[in-house]
Amino acid sequence: MAKVVCIHGIAQEFEAAEVLASKWAPALCGGVSNADGSLLPSDVAMCFYGDLFRPQETVRKDAVSAPPAIEDPFEHELLAALDDDAAGADPTKTLGARTVQAMLHRVAHTPFFGGCAQEVVIRALKQVWWYVTNRNQTRVLGQHRLRKVMSDDTRVLVGHSLGSVIAYEVLCADPQRPVRTLVTLGSPLGIPALAPRLEPPANILPARWPAGVLQWFNIADKTDIVALEKKLSRIFGPNVHDTLVNNGPRIHDVIPYLTAAQTGRAILAGLALEEAGR
| Ordered structural domains, the chain, with CATH | 4-51+137-277 (3.40.50), 73-132 (no CATH)
Q: Output the 3-class SS for the chain.
A: CCCEEEECCCCCCCCCHHHHHHHHHHHHHHHHHHCCCCCCHHHEEEECCHHHHCCCCCCCCCCCCCCCCCCCHHHHHHHHHHHHHHHHHCCCCCCCCCCHHHHHHHHHCCCCCCCCCHHHHHHHHHHHHHHHCCHHHHHHHHHHHHHHHCCCCCCEEEEECHHHHHHHHHHHHCCCCCCCEEEEECCCCCCCCCHHHCCCCCCCCCCCCCCCCCEEEEEEECCCCCCCCCCCHHHHCCCEEEEEECCCCCCCCHHHHHHCHHHHHHHHHHHHHHHHHC
Q: What is the pLDDT of residue 274?
A: 67
Q: Provide the percentage of residues in the chain whose pLDDT is more than 70.
A: 90
Kindly tell me the burial class for residue 58, based on how many C-beta atoms sit within 10 Å of its own C-beta (0-12, 13-18, 19 or more): exposed
Contact between residue 43 and residue 4 where contact means Cβ atoms under 8 Å apart: yes
Residues with pLDDT less than 50, the chain: 63-64, 91-92
Q: pLDDT per residue over 137-163, tens digit each?
A: 999 999 999 999 999 999 999 999 999
| Cα 192 to Cα 67: distance, rounded to the nearest angstrom | 27
Q: What is the pLDDT of residue 118?
A: 81
